[in-house]
Amino acid sequence: MDAAHALPPVIYGLMAEFDDPSALVAAARRAYEAGYRKMDTFSPFPVEEAWEAIGHHDRRLSKIVLAGGLTGLLTGIGLQEWVHELAYPINIAGKPLNSWPQFVPVCFELTILFAALSAVLGMIILNGLPAPYHPAFNVPRFERASRDKFFLLVESDDPKFDRQATLEFLKGLNPSEINEVEP
Amino acid sequence: MINPPPATYDPAPLIEPGHTFGSITDKIATVVVGGRTPITWFVVVSIGMMIMGMLGVAVTWLLIKGTGIWGINIPVGWGFAIINFVWWIGIGHAGTLISAILLLLKQGWRTSINRFAEGMTIFAVMCAGLFPLIHTGRPWLAAYWLFPYPNSMAVWPQFRSPLIWDVFAVSTYFTVSLMFWYVGLIPDMATLRDKARKRPQQIIYGVLSLGWRGSAKHWQRYEHIYLLLAGLSTPLVLSVHTVVSFDFAIGIIPGWHATIFPPYFVAGAIYAGFAMVLTLAIPLRKIYGMEDFITIRHLENMAKVTLVTGLIVGYGYTSEAFFGWYSANKYEGFMIWNRMTGPYWPYYWTLVFCNIITPQTLWIRKVRTTPILIFAVAMVVNVGMWLERFVIVITSLHRDFLPSSWGMYYPTVWDWMTFVGTIGMFIVLFFLFIRFLPMISIFEMRTMAPEAKLTESEGH
């Protein structure tokens, strides 16, 4: 609780704990206004205002999923045209080799498949998962982050971070508890 | 002008009052970690295993002897395998409707039922997928018949065939449904990891959670793709049963070659699927005491969807009969007349009773709010939708253009054992899921708690 004694040489950051999402969002906004940028919040369910408050919005996934879908579409066209015109051209009921309307269903399915795969893999990779270790797990109370508590973490490599000053600032946000996060 | 609802109208809540983040978490997660497994679970899984044993015997005998052990013949070359395939794949559709379409429509009531409905989808698609795999009696040949890969014979699949479209539709559907389900499970796996006190559980759920820590930056990307997946799954689920209906509609058999087939099949799929969700939800909430989360309101909403889709299916039957007459085509006209009065007439009229008449009781509010009555109606619909596929497949094939080639179809004991066996497989898979994964989405349920609403709105 008290950061003054037992100072480890380096810390990852300071973590304040809150009881409900409203308090978390209010605290995150004040920290952002105070100039902190390298921070994160942790909550047991998505809180849209929380990522807005810390100034995070990553739109890259839209483009990744679009690219994935287009790749799937081109794969579908390429596969079927290549099979039926070049690799294995056979006459079925006098239909033209390029009977493209009959290639639409497979193109559609591959578009969806590739888009969905790129969405899931894109989310996992951009989030840096799987991540079995993270300094936040060193705080014993952090297991409540997947249950009913809300946390604001200010990282020590933020230019404005100062061990004492930041601690005092976080105390002013009325958290239920403050913990140092070991690296 | 919209009239306000009458004063007596008091819908049941979506979540019983008094729940907090912690109580929601404990109630759902305790089923998986730290709780006692109810004796009912062991009984159900044992019975399921025994039924599933029949599937093992039937499939083994099929691989030894070939499809001659089944009732299929000429002219009825498609029998139980396609009937059961369409029945199971249709059941799966309700899960995707609940998880994707209701999410896009912002229907809050989906939250308590989406997890196990998605599980139902995955297990139903597994049961469905078994039939195309074994229906030739030589599943090892399916590899080059169905999948485009460079093989030593230099032959490739025929992409002009709806049966190949089906392979792509169903395998895409299974893959996307599985990913959607797993993505939804990641934050709940983290909850189980943190709640578990036994080392093996901590390790297994820890690995499955991918180290999820609830970071806002992660949640933002997570919510982004969850919405994108819902948007991708919506056209996907409609395409799957459309393609299944193409298996029939692309052919020139009377009764199959109809443009109404895609919407009629999709509605039938959702109808059958909601009936199955109700069949599962009503005993589950009882066994695990989940009445707080799966309230009468959920059951009533699902009963309403069942009624509406049932009416669309009824419209499909009517238009089939109408086209039989209006087309002035001798074969179409004979087909519908044979369906109603031919040797399979009891099947047709039982299906009309099951799928059109019985669900009309859901107009009555008392029926919609009494779990045992909804369960009874849902069971009747499950049977009716299986009969529908039987009637479509068998009555169209057994008497087609040439009376000299007419015949009859009688399923054998092996047909029945395979079909009933997949029901056992479904029960076993579903109850294993109930025991080892959270049956209701914990993190989404937390958003339903009153304290999840932000109390101030500055900065908006």
Low-confidence stretches of chain B (pLDDT < 50) are 1, 458-460
Establish if A142 belongs to a structural domain. Answer: yes
Look at residue A103 and tell me if it is in a domain.
yes
Calpha distance A97→A84 (Å, rounded)? 6
In a domain? residue A8 = no
Which chain B residues are closer than 8 Å to A105 by Cβ? 162, 165, 168-169, 239, 243, 246
B414, B70 Cβ separation under 8 angstroms: yes
User: Quick check: is A7 in a domain?
Assistant: no
Domain span at A78: 60-126
**Whole-number Å distance between alpha carbons of B363 and B276:** 19
B447 in contact with chain A, both atoms CB, cutoff 8 A:
yes
* Domain match, A102 and A154 both: no
Domain that holds residue B159: 21-180+234-450
How many CB pairs (< 8 A) connect A and B? 203
Do A139 and A94 belong to one domain? no
CB contacts, 8 Å: B165 with chain A: 105-106, 109
How many domains are there within chain B? 1
DSSP state of A20: S
Same domain membership, residue A139 and residue A52: yes
- Phi, psi (5° rounding) for residue B146? -105, -35
The secondary structure element, H or E, covering residue A42 is strand A39-42
Measure A20 CA to nearest chain B CA, in Å: 7
> Using an 8 Å Cβ cutoff, are B174 and B122 in contact?
yes
**For chain A, what is the mean pLDDT?**
90
C-alpha to C-alpha distance for B279 and B276, rounded to whole angstroms: 5
- Count how many domains chain A has: 2
Q: Do B443 and A44 touch (CB under 8 A)?
A: yes
| Predicted pLDDT of residue B460 | 41
Nearest CA-CA distance, residue B392 and chain A, Å: 23
C-alpha to C-alpha distance for B149 and A71, rounded to whole angstroms:
19
pLDDT digits (tens, 9 = 90+) for B433-451: 999 999 999 999 999 888 8
Instruction: Examine residue A6 and state whether it is found in any structural domain, yes or no.
Output: no
Residue-level pLDDT at B459: 45
Interchain proximity B443–A132, CB inside 8 Å = no
- Partner A contacted by B34 (CB < 8 A): no
Asked if residue A4 is part of any domain, the answer here is: no
B305 Cβ contact partners less than 8 Å away, ≥ 6 residues apart = B270, B274
> Which residues does chain B have within 8 Å of residue A122's beta carbon, measured at their own beta carbons?
225
Which pLDDT value is given to residue B167? 93
Predicted local confidence at residue A5, as pLDDT: 57
* Cβ of residue A116 closer than 8 Å to a chain B Cβ: yes
Is B176 in contact with A112 (Cβ distance < 8 A)?
yes
Q: Are residues A70 and A91 both part of a single domain?
A: yes
- Could you say which residues from 27 to 46 on chain A have a Cβ atom under 8 Å away from some Cβ of chain B? 29, 40-46
DSSP reduced 3-state for A51? helix
Q: Do B228 and A62 touch (CB under 8 A)?
A: yes
A75 and A35 share a domain?
A: no
| Residue B168 forms part of a structural domain | yes
A106/B164 touch (CB, cutoff 8 Å), yes or no: yes
For the stretch A146-169, pLDDT in tens is 989 999 999 988 888 888 889 889
- Does the residue B221 lie in any domain? no
Q: Which residues of B79-109 are buried (b: 16+ CB within 10 A; e: fewer)?
A: bbbbbbbbbbbbbbbbbbbbbbbbbeeeeeb
Which residues of chain A make contact with B246, given a CB cutoff of 8 A? 105
Q: Is residue A17 part of a domain?
A: yes
Residue B196 forms part of a structural domain: no
Judged against a pLDDT cut of 80, whether residue A15 lies above it is answered with yes
pLDDT digits (tens, 9 = 90+) for A48-98: 999 999 988 899 999 999 999 999 999 999 999 999 999 999 888 888 999
Give yes or no: residues A67 and A114 share one domain. Answer: yes
Q: CA of B434: how far to CAs of A74, B34, B200, B340, in Å?
A: 40, 14, 19, 42
pLDDT at A151: 94
Q: Does residue A5 lie within any of the structural domains?
A: no
pLDDT of res. B5: 54
The B residues from 137 to 156 touching A (CB cutoff 8 Å) are 148, 154-156
